[in-house]
């Protein structure tokens, strides 16, 4: 897991390789095989995947809505295939999978195709069953991911969604200036990830608080919520600490009852329009004597917290990609301190090829 976390700067370089088109402030996505006209006809985007692939889809849905201003939504493929979904010809479906062999995602793709809609894949494993079933899409080229938990493919998938969202946006209303701004930010990501990885010792220290607990909470708002979801999933998978993610605004509707001095909360705190709202969330948790840890951008946090992890600032749309990185290292170090089998967590398989 640690090796694959460390490989992320190169993995991002490979996702980006040959796909930036600065001349037109857009991206070039050869494998999509969808004409501009077909993409313009799409009224909605629906993203299907399982586990971390689904959560990367949640990041992708927000990117598509922000940059292309088209409704986009992610759903676990495992649920989608069982609920006799309404499948519409003017919805564009995207299947996400590292292995390309996940049975639930494959079944969802087959259902979409059977009902005549367009689907493409964002897949890591070249020539895999889902990649072949989709017949078109983007390969991540992140390299083999051997640890059961997804790390570099989660990040690479989010970057692939940014490429697609910029492409779709530039077909629609995204200005050339905004396209250029985002291309520059994408190019800066590998070096920014290296800067985050260099903070490993500090993150390992913060991990001590999470290694001692039975329960932990991860909260984020809007684009920060999928970051919280992935952080909680990673922690529970490798360390077996019970970790729950909540949208920050939902805390007061129930989960606040669980906040206590022995229960740490990780708050995703980007420097964005919602910063002061997220600071209020920290205050709500502190008022119940809950320990608070934040992953944020370099600038003082205006309220006392128990620990701070800083990540470099990107453009607001791409911030979630970097905010997630320290949470991978956090999960890794909690698991290391608890002595679990990090690369092969109990009860889990790398590829879930059964129903
Ligand atoms: C991620 O850490 C998990 N092990 C799991 O949720 C995984 O993302 C999921 O099973 C989907 O796998 P796939 O990407 O190979 O389809």
Full-model pTM:
0.97
For residue 248, report the distance from its CA to the centre of ligand 1, in Å: 25
Q: Percent of the chain beyond pLDDT 70?
A: 100
Q: What is the pLDDT of residues 5-44, one digit of tens each?
A: 999 999 999 999 999 999 999 999 999 888 999 999 999 9
Go through 88-111 and write b for each residue having 16 or more CB atoms within 10 A of its CB, e for each that does not.
eeebbbbbbbbbbbbbbbbbbbeb
- The atom number, within ligand 1, closest to the CA of 130 reads 16
Give the model's pLDDT for residue 351.
Answer: 84
Evaluate: CB of 148 within 6 angstroms of ligand 1.
yes
Q: What is the mean pLDDT of residues 84-107?
A: 96
Written as six digits, the tokens of 115 are 């009902």
C-beta of 151 in contact with ligand 1 (< 6 A): no
Ligand 1 centroid–CA 14 distance in Å is 21
Percent of the residues in the chain that have a pLDDT greater than 90, as a whole number: 93
Average pLDDT, the chain: 96
pLDDT tens, position by position, 286-334: 999 999 999 999 989 999 999 999 999 999 999 999 999 999 999 999 9
**pLDDT reading at 238 higher than 90:** yes
Quickly state the pLDDT bin for 355 (edges 50, 70, 90).
confident
pLDDT tens for each residue of 146-169: 999 999 999 999 999 999 999 999
Which DSSP letter does residue 303 get? Answer: S
Nearest CA residue ID for atom 9, ligand 1: 51
Ramachandran area for residue 135 (φ above 0: left; ψ -120 to 50: alpha; else beta): left
Place of tokens 């470099």: 312
Write phi, then psi, for 21 (nearest 5 degrees): -125, 75
The encoded tokens of residue 257 equal: 């009852």
What is the Cα–Cα distance from 94 to 300, expressed in whole angstroms?
39
The verdict on the CB of residue 98 being under 6 Å from ligand 1 is yes
pLDDT at 268 over 90: yes
Instruction: Produce one character per residue of 152-163: b if its CB has 16 or more CB atoms within 10 Å, e if not.
Output: bbbbbbbbbbbb
- Alpha carbon distances (Å) from 6 to 120, 181, 200, 303, 315: 29, 27, 10, 32, 23
Split at pLDDT 50, 70, 90, the class of 352 is confident
Between the CA of 324 and the centroid of ligand 1 the distance, in Å, is 16
Specify the ligand 1 atom closest to the Cα of 98.
14
Closest ligand 1 atom to Cα of 105: 16
Over residues 239-260, the mean pLDDT reads 94
**Residue 142: its pLDDT value, please?**
95
């Amino acid at each position: 897991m640690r090796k694959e976390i460390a490989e992320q700067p190169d993995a991002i370089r490979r996702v980006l390789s040959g796909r930036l088109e600065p001349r037109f402030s857009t991206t070039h996505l050869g494998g999509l095989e969808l004409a501009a006209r077909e993409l313009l006809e799409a009224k909605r985007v629906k993203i299907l995947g399982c586990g971390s692939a689904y959560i990367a889809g949640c990041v992708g849905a927000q990117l598509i809505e922000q940059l292309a201003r088209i409704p986009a939504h992610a759903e676990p493929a495992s649920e989608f295939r069982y609920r006799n979904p309404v499948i519409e010809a003017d919805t564009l479906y995207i299947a996400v999978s590292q292995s390309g062999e996940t049975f639930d995602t494959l079944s969802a793709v087959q259902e979409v195709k059977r009902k005549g809609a367009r689907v493409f894949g964002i897949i890591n494993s070249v020539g895999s069953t889902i990649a072949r079933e989709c017949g078109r899409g983007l390969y991540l080229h992140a390299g083999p991911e051997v640890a059961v938990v997804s790390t570099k493919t989660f990040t690479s998938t989010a970057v692939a969604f940014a490429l697609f969202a910029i492409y779709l946006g530039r077909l629609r209303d995204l200005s050339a200036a905004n396209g250029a701004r985002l291309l520059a930010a994408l190019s800066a990501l590998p070096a920014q990830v290296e800067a985050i990885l260099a903070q490993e010792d500090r993150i390992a220290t913060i991990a001590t608080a999470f290694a001692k607990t039975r329960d932990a909470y991860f909260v984020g708002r809007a684009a920060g919520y999928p970051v919280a979801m992935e952080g909680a999933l990673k922690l529970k998978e490798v360390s077996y600490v019970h970790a729950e993610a909540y949208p920050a605004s939902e805390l007061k509707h129930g989960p606040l009852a669980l906040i206590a001095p022995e229960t740490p909360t990780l708050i995703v705190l980007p420097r964005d329009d919602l910063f002061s709202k997220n600071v209020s969330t920290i205050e709500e948790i502190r008022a119940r004597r809950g320990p608070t840890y934040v992953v944020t951008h370099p600038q003082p946090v205006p309220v006392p917290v128990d620990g701070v992890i800083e990540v470099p600032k990107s453009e607001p749309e791409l911030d979630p990609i970097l905010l997630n990185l320290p949470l991978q290292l956090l999960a890794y170090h909690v698991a290391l301190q608890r002595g679990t089998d990090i690369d092969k967590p109990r009860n889990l398989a790398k590829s879930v090829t059964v129903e």
